[in-house]
Chains A and B, each alone.
Chain A
């Protein structure tokens, strides 16, 4: 079966712009989580969506938002981009919320210049 698909793979944006990243979970998976990976901080939890509802949120500013559609696909949006937002953004899907069977996508590498 197809894995978790994240698009685009690479993105370059300018400070102040906004960006939308997309994640298509494994078929049948209803939970989608987003993580930010930076060299100094490792992977940090952004938020989790299950059945179109945000179930959990990490400690990120309101510029980071997300949503989930009825087909479980999820999008993440970052507004007013800052240089420090440059990172690898990873999406993970699971059958259920609170489960530990997360499968990660390959990520979107965002560079803010």
Chain B
């Protein structure tokens, strides 16, 4: 049972345009959400996170939006750059006791073209 879903396995975007990566979750106990970026042969790198008490968090070119009623979050990258080409994982964690257990989606491969 996939509790965190990234339904788009891949996405191609032109340099300078906006990249929108989507993530859906089913477990209403999740209250913290994270995005990681992963290059081949490297471990995932933390990008940005959002708590369930917020609906938006911004960090430079990266913005994460959370829609709790729809159990949906998205990562916006503006403007997209070739160095952003990587696999992006959405992850979620629950409240105390399970907060250390991150549940990941299967990832979306982003390709930023020139």
Interface residues contributed by chain B, number (CB under 8 Å) = 25
Residue from A44, A45, A106 in contact with B43 in the complex, judged by beta carbons closer than 8 Å:
A106
Q: Main SS of chain B's interface residues?
A: loop
Interface size class of A (residues with CB under 8 A): 20 to 34
Please tell me if the beta carbons of B102 and A45 are within 8 angstroms of each other in the complex.
Answer: yes
* 8 contacting pairs across A/B (C-beta < 8 A): A41-B106, A43-B91, A43-B102, A43-B104, A56-B101, A58-B101, A90-B43, A106-B41
Instruction: Write the residues of chain B forming the contact surface with A, with a CB cutoff of 8 angstroms.
Output: 32, 34, 36, 41-46, 49, 89, 91, 93, 96-107
Chain A residues close to B by CB (< 8 Å): 4, 31, 33, 35, 40-45, 48, 50, 55-56, 58, 90, 92, 94, 97-107
Excluding A101-B46, A104-B36, 15 further A-B contacts by CB distance (< 8 Å) are A35-B102, A40-B106, A42-B107, A43-B102, A48-B100, A90-B43, A90-B44, A97-B99, A97-B100, A98-B96, A98-B100, A100-B34, A102-B102, A104-B44, A106-B42
